[in-house]
Amino acid sequence: MYERSGKTNTGAQALRLEGLRHLRVLEQGESLVERDLTAEESRRLLPLVEQAGQSPAPAPLAPATGESDGLMVTLAFEDEELPRVRLTTAHLPARGAGAALDALLAELDALLTAELHTRAPRHAHAVLPHQLREEE
């Protein structure tokens, strides 16, 4: 399970992979998307999950105190009691868990972002300096 949450986010968003065959996207605990992984997604994820699984077992993490202005990113394997990764970050994808885990976090974050964008596309636009002056 890969989860990201924080004040700068719309809510707790999570991606759950079941046996590298099935994908579930959750937002604040509610299932938004359920589908089978494509062959390409499975091919990209398999070596990353295997490498992450070979990394040392996680050390106990102190509970987070207070609220952070950034995002909290968590990666957990279902057969482990503790999350493998728990990071506070200002930027996605999160970095700082080691090369193998960082690569997996980046891939899972891209997959979660793509699924959320497919469900509810967000369109950004540029505001030019002269438009700011007009609004003032």
Distance between CA atoms of residues 32 and 13, nearest Å: 10
pTM: 0.76
pLDDT tier, 40 (very low <50, low <70, confident <90, very high otherwise): very high
Mean pLDDT of 26-51: 91
Distance between CA atoms of residues 52 and 75, nearest Å: 10
Residues pairing with 4 in the sheet: 13, 73
- At 23, is the secondary structure helix, strand, or coil? strand
Mean pLDDT of 32-44: 93
Q: Which residue has the higher pLDDT, 111 or 118?
A: 111
Task: Give the DSSP H or E segment for 86.
Answer: strand 85-89
- At 48, is the secondary structure helix, strand, or coil? helix
User: Among 24, 22, 96, 17, which Cα is nearest to 49's?
Assistant: 17
